[in-house]
């Protein structure tokens, strides 16, 4: 059972455009992480959000955790080809150790 639903599954945009990726669930999470994965490599952590309503910025990336801690979004401003990758959200519920991942959003940014 996929507790975390990511949308869209695939996103292709031109360099300079903005994009938003969504991560939704019916479950409440104590924390939520965003990872980026490039071909042939393991995922790499971008950010962790833990407080409902929290907003974190990482250069051109803005992450938001929903007030009810059930959903999150990732917004990229002025996307660059280096932003290309598979973006994964991962949530941890009350069961410590069981970090569950969404299926991911494949983002392709063309020059």
Partner 1 sequence: EAQVTQNPRYLITVTGKKLTVTCSQNMNHEYMSWYRQDPGLGLRQIYYSMNVEVTDKGDVPEGYKVSRKEKRNFPLILESPSPNQTSLYFCASSFSNYNTGELFFGEGSRLTVL
Interface with partner 1 (CB under 8 A): 2, 4, 6, 9, 30-31, 33, 35, 40-45, 48, 88, 90, 92, 96-104
Residue closer to partner 1 by CB (options 1, 14) is 1
Residue closer to partner 1 by CB (options 13, 103) is 103
Q: What angle do CA 95, 97, 103 make, to 5 degrees?
A: 95
Tell the smallest beta-carbon distance from residue 66 to partner 1 (Å). Answer: 18
**Residues 76 and 83 sit within 8 Å (Cβ to Cβ):** yes
Tell the smallest beta-carbon distance from residue 40 to partner 1 (Å). Answer: 7
Residues 6+ apart with CB under 8 A from 42: none
Residue closer to partner 1 by CB (options 6, 72) is 6
Q: How far is CA 41 from CA 5, 11, 37, 98, 108, in A?
A: 23, 20, 6, 22, 17
Residue closer to partner 1 by CB (options 95, 111) is 95
Q: Which residue has the tokens 């932003």?
A: 83
Tell the smallest beta-carbon distance from residue 105 to partner 1 (Å). Answer: 10
Tell the smallest beta-carbon distance from residue 42 to partner 1 (Å). Answer: 3
């Amino acid at each position: 059972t996929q507790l975390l639903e990511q949308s869209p599954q695939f996103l292709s945009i031109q360099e300079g455009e903005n994009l938003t990726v969504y991560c939704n669930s019916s479950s409440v999470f104590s924390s939520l992480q965003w990872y980026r994965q490039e071909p042939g490599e393991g995922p790499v952590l971008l950010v962790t959000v833990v407080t409902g309503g929290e907003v974190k910025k990482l250069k051109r990336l803005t992450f938001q955790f929903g007030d009810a801690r059930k959903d999150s979004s990732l917004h990229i401003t002025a996307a660059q080809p280096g932003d290309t990758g598979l973006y994964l959200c991962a949530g941890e519920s009350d069961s410590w150790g069981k970090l569950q991942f969404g299926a991911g959003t494949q983002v392709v940014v063309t020059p």
